[in-house]
Amino acid sequence: MFERLQKPFLTVETGEAYQPIRIVYDLLQRDAFIEALSKLKCIENKQTNGWNIFWRNECDDIHFESLDSFKKNPKNPTRLGTFLLKEKALYLNLPSFKRACLLVPFLHKLIDPSIIKIKKADFINKVFGLNERLPHGFSELFDEDELEKIVHQRIHDYETVQERCEQAETADAAFKILSEYTNTESRKRLPYAERYTFQEISKIEPDVAYLGFYIFLRGRELVAIRRWFGETGYTLADAAEETIEQVFGGMHIDIIE
């Protein structure tokens, strides 16, 4: 454990922990999407059906609070992530949760929702050591069947608790059931890989939807980092309390330090 405390975890250029995350979109209008990308100077075609997103032009004002100091090089801008188009699906591949929290709502404003529709996010619940073997590509990281199994189990558990609450004799009894469920869930061991499913953005305020996404990822990032440094008892409940205080305590919002 002492050796681990002396070893920092792997970070990306902009300072945050390296935690691969893949955002999946339904591609509704292929030609319109390609045309929209061609108009953005922050995006550059890298191969057939593949594009890089750089920290420049339209993305220039994106702010990374995790950096103490960072000198941008206009001649060699930082690559923030990549787009990959496969049949009717679009993948936004990013190396950190923070970039996902910043770029997803940003791209929502740049590209009309009638062209692409956000669907889900697949991600890793751990940080990596500097000398640790890294997964090779996203196909090695994510097992579709396992991710769907986790999502379906989570939905099943929630619906079971919801039914128990509805059948409870009193409001206090229902609250107790819900509280016990929340407490148990927050202390479960997080799976290596996990999936976040987005609600229908058109039915709610985008800012509300993406704030929920941020809180979800922020908690998991905190658990991964605290446990890396030896706080084995640190749970999602602790992370949720810390995150809510940060977000709503005086409305001081810091997108993933």
Q: Where are the domains of the chain?
A: 2-141+191-248
pLDDT tens digit sequence for 86-130: 888 999 999 999 999 999 988 888 898 899 999 999 998 889 888
pLDDT at 135: 67
**Spatial distance between the Cα atoms of 107 and 89, rounded to a whole number of angstroms:** 16
Q: What is the pLDDT of residue 255?
A: 45
- Over residues 208-252, the pLDDT tens digits come to 778 888 888 998 999 999 988 888 888 888 887 787 776 665 445
CB 198 within 8 A of CB 181: no
Q: Which residues are CB-neighbours of 144 under 8 A, at least 6 positions away?
A: none
What's the confidence (pLDDT) of residue 204?
Answer: 64
Residue that the structure tokens 């050796």 belong to:
3
Q: At what angle do helices 236-248 and 171-186 cross, to 10 degrees?
A: 110
| DSSP code per residue over 120-169 | EEEEES---BTTSPPPSSHHHH--HHHHHHHHHHHHHHHHHHHHHHHH-S
Q: Higher-confidence residue: 156 or 111?
A: 111
The reported pTM is 0.79
| pLDDT in the model for residue 71 | 64
What's the sign of the alpha-carbon dihedral 54, 60, 62, 65?
positive
Helix (H), strand (E) at residue 44 = strand 43-47
